[in-house]
Structure 1
Amino acid sequence: MSSKTIRHQHPAYRDDIGDLVTRRPVPGPAVEQIDPFLFLNHHGPQTYGRNNRGLPFGPHPHRGFETVTFILEGSLAHRDSGGHESVIHAGGVQWMTAGSGLVHAEVSPQSFLESGGPLEILQLWVNLPSRLKMTPPRYVGLQKEAIPALPLDDGKGVVNLIAGEWHGSRGPFESLTGVFMSTIALAAGGQVSFDGVRDRNVFLYVVRGAIRIAGEAARQHHLIELNEDGDSVDIEADSDAFLLFGHAQPIGEPVVAHGPFVMNTREEIQQAVRDYTNGKFGAMG
């Protein structure tokens, strides 16, 4: 079995949203997407004081893709036009299929606005193929306790299994397109390998720490683009590290994005704008 190797390391560029520290590795100057992974925002880490304004993501629409949100520190209140509502705390994940169209808001709960505290959140956009872009919207939010935390054999790390299968366990989220998704915590010297990645695109973002991929150093706050060859991804931590790791079959279709809409053609984008303007995405309760 051969290991995938590093093709390029894409730095996450600062693009703060008000007082919210934000880094974005994709899309970037040298990478538009790692098909089907379209977009990643890394908010924080930072600490909010008492009586803060919290997260700024009031009601806004989406169509044509999915959002996967990882709450690393703090908490996140979600509401959408499909009637879903939740508050997810540190270690939890929410997976929203925008599909044919949804309006949602992601803000800080009242308790966080009043008391403040640490905050760190990742949001990943995952594309849908044309046959699924108009699928009915859905939402699942799960707390940390519902996500399998699988210890590594060497005792130096944990794989938090979000979607897909690994070592006989299955993640609680069911991807429409067979996406594997996880977060990984490694202590210095910890090692982990993932096989079954030939002909699949790997998404690997180093949230913190320093690691090696097939022996080559990979840096913090970088999206690590891997070469297509190889059957496995072999990771070793040089320091304590935390990673976002997923892989998926590439879709291989045209991508036309306009703000919160991701479709295959310009005409479909124009239709999405009309449908949203005409209230076809529903309204927040």
Structure 2
Amino acid sequence: MRTIKKIHKAISAPIHDLITFRALPTSQIDYLDPFLFLNHHGPQVYPPFNRGLPFGPHPHRGFETLTFVLDGDLVHRDTGSGESVIRAGGIQWMTAGRGLIHAEVSSEEFKEHGGNVEVIQLWFNLPAKLKMTAPHYVGLQQAEIPAITLDEGKVTIHAVSGEWAGTKGSVPSLTDIQIARLELQVGGTYTAQIAASRNILCYVVRGIVNINGQSATTHNLIQFNNDGKEIQLEATENTTLILGHGEPYNEPVVAQGPFVMNTQAEIMQAMRDYQMGKMGVWAE
């Protein structure tokens, strides 16, 4: 069984009027190679005639994003021709690679009528050899993501990528990132076998769960040592969590704003390329 190094509490980091808790990076932990960033937006209720989510057009290079839409909706558009409206239960996976501009905003319907919003966004690093790969986008609704039911219906795994209980997730990962959203009812148990070499991302969205003998709760990020394979989960409240794992790259990480590269020179080049329109030109 893996031992837990530390349980981190996500920090409050609101963006305009959007409730946000950031689990990565914080003053306590920079990243969990290859997992760079985790923001938990909401849950909150937007009134009618709202401005929607504040993620207008902005560039990215050198990594991938995965967005879980837990409630509300999310309209995605990018300069690589990706476009979709994802509703509750769906996901967006975008490989920024060599660079693009994208926006993630609320639908006009949501802005008019309001409603509940809850979104998790993750950033996955890309190794140096893939930093300049071609951009790619996948948007999936909940029905397009395999839902694996275990423990007499007390555990549901929404398999995004990798293999979970013998079922493959919907998104092929360039770097063998394996990740899923898990829902556990009170008393539900799940055991995962994850190679000791792989780093684990485990974030409790809501609820209380015993993880390898320690209790974790809402907004907790669990950091593991690389000393065992088994992860045991047992919910003491109805719990939703994000569980993922990947091999670390052990490469330099230089991050500045929306770009993540290996050197400062590459960051400066990304800025120049963006300014020169090499990541596309945004058309309203």
Judge same fold: TM > 0.5, yes or no: yes
Q: TM-score, normalised by structure 1?
A: 0.98
The CA distance in 2 between the partners of 1:124 and 1:82, in whole Å, is 20
**Structure 1 letter corresponding to 2:120:** L
2:259 maps to which residue? Answer: 261
Can you list the C-alpha shifts for 1:181-200, whole angstroms capped at 9, x where unaligned? Answer: 10000011110011133210
Match of 1:93 in 2: 91
For residues 256 and 229 of structure 1, what CA distance do their matches in structure 2 show? Answer: 28
1:190 is matched with which residue? 188
CA deviation map 1:162-210 (0-9, x unaligned) = 0001222100101100000100000111100111332100000000001
1:19 CA drift (Å) = 0.7
Matches of 1:245 and 1:128, distance apart in 2: 19
2:167 corresponds to: 169
1:69 aligns with 2:67: yes
The aligned counterpart of 1:239 is: 237
Q: Which structure 1 residue ranges, 5 or more long, are not aligned?
A: none
Q: What is aligned with 2:102?
A: 104
Cα distance in 2 for residues equivalent to 1:167 and 1:18: 40
CA distance in 1, matches of 2:186, 2:26: 29
Structure 1 Cα separation of the partners of residues 3 and 261 of structure 2: 31
Greater alpha carbon shift after TM alignment, 118-127 vs 166-175 = 166-175
Deviations 1:212-254 (A, max 9, x none): 1112111220110011111111111111100011000011100
Structure-2 separation of matches of 1:68 and 1:49: 27
- Once residues 280 and 92 of structure 2 are traced to their aligned partners in structure 1, the CA distance between those partners, rounded to angstroms, is 20
| 1:202 and 2:200 are equivalent in the alignment | yes
Given residue 42 of structure 1, which amino acid in structure 2 is its aligned partner? H
**Match of 1:143?**
141
TM-score (norm 2): 0.98
Alignment-mate amino acid for residue 143 of structure 2: E
Q: Which amino acid aligns with 1:113?
A: K
Q: Which residue of 2 aligns with 1:179?
A: 177
Percent of matched pairs sharing the same residue: 53
Match of 2:38 in 1: 40
Is the partner of 1:154 in helix, strand or coil? Answer: helix
Amino acid aligned to 1:192: Y
Q: What residue is the counterpart of 1:122 in the other structure?
A: 120
Matches within 5 A, 1:24-63: 24-63=22-61
Pairs aligned (count): 283
Displacement, 1:154?
A: 3.4
- Structure-2 separation of matches of 1:259 and 1:207: 25
Letter in 2 for 1:80: D
Q: Secondary structure at the match of 1:176?
A: coil
Q: Structure 1 runs of 4+ off > 2 angstroms?
A: none
Q: What is the rounded CA distance, in whole Å, between the counterparts of 1:90 and 1:136 in structure 2?
A: 28
1:214-233 to 2 correspondences below 5 Å: 214-233=212-231
Question: 2:143 is paired with a residue of what secondary structure?
Answer: helix
Q: C-alpha distance in 2, partners of 1:170/1:272?
A: 35
CA contact (8 A) 1:79 1:284 kept: no
Q: Contact 1:11–1:221 at 8 Å: present in 2 too?
A: yes
- Secondary structure of the residue that 1:268 maps to in structure 2? helix
Instruction: Give RMSD over aligned pairs.
Output: 0.8
What code does the residue aligned with 2:182 have?
Answer: I
